[in-house]
A and B are shown apart, each in its own frame.
Chain A
Amino acid sequence: MADLQKLYDAVLNGDQKTAIAVTNEALADGANALDLITNYMVPAMDEVGRLFECEDYFVPELLLSARAMKGSLEILRPLLAAQGAQPAGRVVIGTVKGDLHDIGKNLVASMLEGGGFEVMDLGADVAPEKFIAAIKERGANIVCLSALLTVTMPSMRTTIEALKQAGVRDQVKVLVGGAPVTAQFATEIGADGYSDNANGAVALARTFV
């Protein structure tokens, strides 16, 4: 039997090769995909988040763990769908129109996936209509907007206004983040939440589902 503690350790230590190998081995031994995620990978990512909070881990370690986790998830996701397993929530995420910066957004997306959310990442420079289409297509209940530049922050307000006009604002919680974004700005533009880091975004998202 595969040693599933190794899966936990591989995600925690950002070792993608081992994470994939143990996942394949476990599945060959008949392991349940949801069990691997719920009991090993999500707890590992929770520990990654905790280590980030106490400054034992930093951005490079977060990226490595997220990549390891994603490597396993890509194998497990089709099996989850076949099992009819439900995610913790459905998230649409993107960097707003005019802004190409995506490192922070990618981190949040990965941490949300690690937290058991289904994430549709629209990439960077995303127009409001793309967010609206994705919300409708995926039945999303959370939308995450990112911006790095002061000149593109207004696109967050524009996007939220567009969600209202499209009639989808009430079905989603809107979380915002990015270097120049503040809690005050989030309130001003009518967002539901703000986080200044990826781990905080996951914690916030969990309160909304």
Chain B
Amino acid sequence: MLPPSRQRLLDALAHRQPDRIPIDFGGSAVTGVHVSCVAALRDHYGLEKRPVSVHEPYQMLGFIDEDLRHAMGLDVTGVFPRNTMFGFPNSQWKEWDFRGQTVLVSTDFRTTVEPNGDILIYPEGDESAPPSGRMPVGSAFFDTIVRQPAFTDETLNILDNLEEFSLMKDGDLDHVRASVAAAQGKNCGILATFGGTAFGDIALVPAPFLKAPKGIRDVAEWYMSTTSRRGYVHKIFEHQCAIGLQNLAKIHAAIGDSVDAVFLCGTDFGTQTSQFCSVRTFNDLWFPYYKAVNDWVHANTQWKCFKHSCGSVEKLFESFIAAGFDIINPVQCSATGMEPAALKAKYGDRLVFWGGGVDTQKTLPFGTPEEVRVEVLRRCEIFSPGGGFVFDSIHNIQAGTPVANLVAMIDAVHEFNGANHG
């Protein structure tokens, strides 16, 4: 007999009605909670006062420790890649004063402060390399510093855009084994992020984890390249896919089916009102590689394939499904064509909605607790019938979100679960 939380998640993923809606906060870098909000939640629930660990410095996401997971009634935990977005591991911790909040960061988290107060962070913790991230005064996140070396189409070398893709080493696999073992000890559902299969994720293209990235690294240049240098991008994806498949095989050999879902790709295809590309372009440029990865996963494992894409992407859902994705996140209901009831009716038996629980651009940060409660209850009502729903806000919980609204959100899910499932 499985632990209730894991069974709950597995039921939801199998489109069976679970005993209650499973909840994820903190299971991945796209379902996370800003470190300041984690601290505020710990205070609210009266938990031990201690600095929160930052597992993803790029977005300053905080670990949800077991005491907080239990207090919030969460059903999912995460397995994270060995290295952060800035290319260093979270192997040892040190205290860091994050603008008045003491947090724990990796010992390789190395920063300097500009005269204007901006914070710079260094790839692989190497202060002799050019900084790869900047947190401006007034912000609570790092943004990538684009380091685009000069190039011409004649000098572009495919290997330059492949530096970050390599076969996993023993140390990487040891990390995966240890992380999965730790996650299993928590008796809940497991969402794993192994990395390496995000094709053209615009957050990864500038490679903030590399000391001296080469090839196409500028964001606009990359977007243009998907049209003007499509053959080059195809070659990158071909190589990346081949390496990714070998790594997935290694990982599966190491951990088997002990994780429930795998966050395979976070490439955003949606804007607020449209897509970044046509369905035809998606089917030409991305679909073959997604299908190869998802087909391998389905043929060889019990894992469910998790796809993240912000924005208006309903027009791509049929392609996502045909490519083999089982789960879509974050279900940005405020974007054009992403109306919750219509999505559930059209795709609810084929896609698991992992997200969509409450708007993080408007309601959660700026609404009243009652407005949060009403929106959460309505979303649960729409998305939960027949399973296929994991409660999560629409993308990470952002800095500055009132803790009263976070508590109202969690309480509303439990209210719904209590009313509907005893």
Assess whether A63 is interfacial by the CB under 8 Å rule: yes
Q: Does B274 contact A (CB under 8 A)?
A: yes
Cβ-based interface call for A197 (8 A): yes
Binding site for A on B (CB under 8 A): 118, 134, 136-141, 143, 219-220, 223-228, 271-278, 281, 360-362, 365-366, 398-400
Q: How far, in whole Å, are A61 and B277 apart by their CA atoms in the complex?
A: 9
User: B136 near A60 (CB under 8 angstroms)?
Assistant: no
Q: How far is the CB of B279 from chain A (nearest CB, A)?
A: 10
Establish whether residues B277 and A149, one from each chain, have CB atoms under 8 Å apart when the complex forms.
Answer: no
Which A residues form the contact surface with B (CB < 8 A)?
A: 14, 55-56, 58-61, 63-64, 67, 97-101, 103, 106, 125, 149-152, 155, 179-180, 182, 196-197
CB pair B272–A58 under 8 Å, yes or no, is no
Do B134 and A100 have beta carbons less than 8 Å apart? yes
A101 CB, min distance to chain B CBs, angstroms: 7
Apart from A60-B277, A150-B360, A196-B272, what 12 extra A-B contacts exist at CB < 8 Å?
Answer: A59-B271, A60-B224, A64-B227, A67-B224, A98-B138, A98-B139, A149-B141, A151-B399, A152-B139, A196-B273, A197-B271, A197-B273
Q: Which residues of A contact B398 (CB under 8 A)?
A: 149-151
The winner among B138, B228, B273, B275 for most chain A CB atoms within 10 A is B138
On whether the beta carbons of B361 and A97 are closer than 8 Å, the reply is no
**CB of B51 to closest CB in A, whole Å:** 21
Let me know if A63 and B136 touch, CB within 8 A: no
| Residue pair B274, A106 in contact (C-beta under 8 Å) | no
Distance, CA A56 to CA B138, complexed state (A): 38
Q: What residues of A have a CB within 8 angstroms of the CB of B134 in the complex?
A: 100
Q: In the assembly, what is the distance between CA of A98 and CA of B138, in Å? A: 5
Contact partner, A180, options B137, B223, B274, B362, Cβ 8 Å: B362
Closest residue of B by beta carbon distance from A182: B362
Output the least CB separation between A9 and chain B (Å): 15
- For residue A197, which residues in chain B have a CB less than 8 angstroms away from its CB? 271, 273-274
Evaluate contact between B220 and A63: CB separation under 8 angstroms.
Answer: yes
Q: Given the complex of chains A and B, what is the CA–CA distance between A209 and B228 in angstroms? A: 35
In angstroms, Cα B143 to Cα A151, docked, is 14
Residue of B nearest to A64 (CB): B224
